[in-house]
Amino acid sequence: MLAILIAAIAGIGTVSSSVFLVLALIGARRFHAIAREQKAFEATLSDAQLPFVSLLKPLHGLEPQLEENLESFFTQQYPDFEVLFAVDHEDDAAIEVARRVMARHPERTSQIVVNGEPPWANPPAYSFYRMAEVARGEILVTSDSDVIVAGDYLRQVVPPLLSENTGMLTCVYRGLNRGGFWSSMDAIGMSVEMTAGVVIANWMEGMKFGLGPTIVVRRDALAAIGGYVPVGEYFSNDFVIGKFIAEKGFEIALSRHIISHVVPPMSFKRMWQRQVRWAAGTRRSRPLGHLGSGLVYAVPYGLLALLAGVLLGHPLLGTAILGWSVLNRCIEALVIGWGITRDRTCLVRPLKYVIRDLLGFAIWTASYVSRKISWRDGRFELIEDGRVRMRDRDGNVVHIQNV
């Protein structure tokens, strides 16, 4: 009876992961088609038709290659833009790095905003709020500090916002591994697992969420949802800002530009905690979607099929199903990880994604076990429905202040 149950679970998971692969292939084809349309439209625009934009970047301490990351935003092949940074405190070590980059580019308008202690549960959202107050552009380009972009970044992410119906744009990203094995597991998950889900969502229902490495928003769309204030108490502020803007009737574009998300060296423990935190945030923000994502993994069900095959006297069948699950993940790594995000690891070592698939399933399982997730020095806890609760230095709950 147990062997039959294992076989049934393995069968369901094998079918569902195979269907997911087909959907990912279709989503990838659609992504490339839209990318060609975006590229053709960009070619019709002169410098005079490109609007002034404001780049908003929150900073929080030193990160690997931070100076190189920030430099890439100053060297854009774009006619006119400004760069704004935000830090919580004047003694933040990132300020000196930002000042060095700013000094090398006196031709570019830039400034640093010091927020003070964030009164919101989500500090980056508060940083965006403060920077938006002084930003001059009607188009705000927000991005994380741990990403690096190509010189044509702005020329690719701004044009879709010229359409009256498009209120927001976001980008998929590849993991740029700057560490060892566990960092590579984090990175390849970005390049393949995350991207596959995004291109499927974009094809099947259109984008209704954002991705933190880049969110470009028009002022009128932002004003329609009440600015950054409504997203200030959510952990996944990138997801909810897209959700709120889509609910107001604006379209959200997925850009053809691929961001490089720098993954620092990390131990297994740090990688695990970071991945579980993100997965737990997704579980609370999108409970049904996250539950269903347990069926998109392939290798865990392949291993169950092998076990069931041995128990039921059909080891060759079990081995064949396991072999298909490995091939499934290699195809996904090549089509998504290399074909879309251009992560070279996916081209030369696609079997790495097989290991990541197993790890991803373990992380998905752990997201249902973790009841409290700490963030930013343990002062912020993820609670139900995706909101964040703050605690002071003594552990007391802090109520969000209005601004």
- Per residue in 75-87, pLDDT tens? 999 999 999 999 9
Q: Residue 395: what pLDDT?
A: 56
- Residue 281 parent element (H or E): helix 268-285
55-69, 78-92, 292-306, 386-400: least confident range: 386-400
Q: Stretch 229-255: mean pLDDT, rounded?
A: 92
Q: Residue 273: what pLDDT?
A: 87
Q: Residue 379: what pLDDT?
A: 56
Q: Residue 383: what pLDDT?
A: 63
Q: Stretch 353-379: mean pLDDT, rounded?
A: 79
Helix (H, G, I), strand (E, B) or coil at 220: helix
Q: Choose among 195, 202, 341, 368: nearest CA to 282.
A: 368
* The Cα angle at residue 209 between residues 205 and 215, in degrees rounded to 5: 130
Q: Choose among 92, 210, 77: nearest CA to 149.
A: 77
Q: Provide the mean pLDDT of the chain.
A: 91
Task: Write down the domain spans for the chain.
Answer: 1-54+146-374
Alpha helices in 286-367 (DSSP H): 287-292, 299-311, 315-332, 344-348, 352-366
Residue 194's CB: how many other CB atoms inside 10 A? 20
Q: Residue 397: what pLDDT?
A: 55
How far apart CA 253 and CA 164 sit, in angstroms, is 12
